[in-house]
Amino acid sequence: MDQSNSFRNGPDEDGHFGTYGGRFVAETLMPLILDLEEHFAAASRDEAFWSEFNELLKHYVGRPSPLTFAPRITERFGGAKIYFKRDELNHTGAHKINNCIGQILLARRMGKTRIIAETGAGQHGVATATVCARFGMPCTVYMGETDIERQQPNVFRMRLLGAEVRPVSSGTRTLKDAMNEALRDWVANVEDTFYIIGTVAGPHPYPAMVRDFQAVIGNEVRAQIVEAEGRLPDTLVACIGGGSNAMGLFHPFLDDAGVRLIGVEAGGEGVETGRHAASLTAGRPGVLHGNRTYLLQNDDGQINDAHSISAGLDYPGIGPEHAWLHDVGRVEYVSVTDAEALEAFQLCAELEGILPALEPSHALAHVAKLAPDLGADHLLVMNLCGRGDKDVFSVAEALDVEL
């Protein structure tokens, strides 16, 4: 295809997707991210790097994850033929580990000896602690106190894996504050420390790097749907917090004009209530955590709290490539509420025997709205990017069930 018309050329050399992205960091970190960029570029050209990455994905993570037809959900919604991409079956229970494998290999290549990470729901923290255990590297995970309260099982898992979980009590005590604290750690430990960012955000090269490690999701779907149906899908749906699972699924399809792409943000208690995490739906462009993107912010440019039943979507920003894809109209972005996600969570458990995480439950809630109006020959793939075991306590609480 004509490369000048491609949606897959970004970012430019300064890390921009349109006007989004970039490198908005303190001077102390600039040499580090320039160094990281150089090493990532070299690794990207190195077949040995990718073959080690792919080996680990196959034998340690358990990829490829299946593409599963969901017969009873399809029947219930009464329209499109619905497939789940089963990234919840990965080792550690979510897509997050794909990226962690890639980044820890890069950290080793760069001679770094200590790993730090931020986490919201704890899935990225668990995945980071896991690869650190596997490669024998000390690991510190920053997690907001609010998130620690609602994700106790993941906190314990990280500790079992040998990671130190440092509670973050600043700001709103959620994912954004954990990211602030991880950045503060990195600034103070520049010599030996590698920061494994968990989503397609942060300063360049993180958004592109995390996307490239997560693109395995979309690349597998491409091969699997062709094998199952003999053609590409009509619609792809994924949930979005920072947007890494969605970007991993969408990116290989961006230039397939016939494939409709839909990202589902967390509408919390409803976008109209102001208590939500829908940065694209209700935010405006700004600069935070190293990149320009859509942010939830007040009139004075102060970052607003995000709200979602799902800790993994509870972030006031979104990856800069999503911001650009939103503006150019290649991807549609919608939102669903806590209540709708909760209903989808239960439906998936009852009808398909799968407990989805609350994050992909948002994607499924949108599929529920979309699918009935589509024909039976319409192929819809939803990324089931994480499993719901970690959420059973939150769900029980939301349903007023005492455990």
Partner 1 sequence: MSDRIDARFRQLADERRAGLVTFVTAGDPNPSESQRLLAALPRAGADVIELGMPFSDPMADGPAIQKSSLRALEAGQTLANTLAMVGEFRTSDDATPIVLMGYYNPIFSYGVDRFLEDATRAGVDGLIIVDLPPEADSELCLPARACGIDFIRLATPTTDDRRLPSVLRNSSGFLYYVSIAGITGTRVGETDVVAGALARIRAHTELPIAVGFGIRTPEQASRIAETADAVVVGSALVDAVEHTPGNAAVAVSELVEQLKAGVLSARKA
Question: What does the binding site for partner 1 look like in residue numbers (CB under 8 A)?
Answer: 14, 22-32, 170-171, 176-177, 180, 183-184, 187-190, 285-290, 292, 295, 297, 299-303
DSSP string, 306-355: P--SSGGG--S---HHHHHHHHHTSSEEEEE-HHHHHHHHHHHHHHHS--
Paired sense of beta strands 114-119 and 20-24, if any: unpaired
- Give the shortest CB-191-to-partner 1 separation in angstroms: 8
Q: Which is nearer to partner 1, 32 or 239 (CB)?
A: 32
* Nearest residue (CB) to partner 1, 28 versus 51: 28
Expressed in angstroms, the distance from the first to the final Cα of the chain is 56
Compute how many other C-beta atoms are within 10 angstroms of the C-beta atom of residue 61. 23
> Exposure of 95 by Cβ count < 10 A (0-12 exposed, 13-18 middle, 19+ buried)?
buried
Smallest gap from residue 158 Cβ to partner 1 (A): 23
Between 242 and 252, name the residue whose CB sits nearer to partner 1.
Answer: 242
Minimal distance, residue 31 CB to partner 1, in Å:
5
- 28 vs 273 by CB, closer to partner 1: 28
Nearest approach in angstroms of CB 305 to partner 1 is 9
Cβ closer to partner 1: 123 or 297?
297
Strand partners, 117: 141
At closest approach, how far in Å is the CB of 333 from partner 1? Answer: 21
- As measured in angstroms, the least distance from the Cβ of 381 to partner 1 is 36
Closest separation between CB of residue 32 and partner 1, Å?
7
Nearest to 116 by CA among 99, 102, 105, 104: 104
Rounded to the nearest 10 degrees, how much is the dihedral formed by the CA atoms of 208, 210, 215, 218?
-110
Nearer to partner 1, 190 or 226 (CB): 190
Interatomic CA distance for residues 388 and 403, integer angstroms: 16
Which tokens hold the place of 377? 């020959």
Cβ proximity to partner 1, 2 vs 14, nearer residue: 14
Report which of 242, 270, 280 is spatially closest to residue 123, judged by C-alpha positions: 242
Nearest 5°: the CA angle 114, 117, 118 is 160
CB 91 within 8 A of CB 62: yes
Query: Among residues 30 and 396, whose Cβ is nearest to partner 1?
Result: 30
Q: What residues pair up with 287 in beta bridges, in sequence order?
A: 292
Question: Least distance to partner 1 from the beta carbon of 386, Å?
Answer: 26
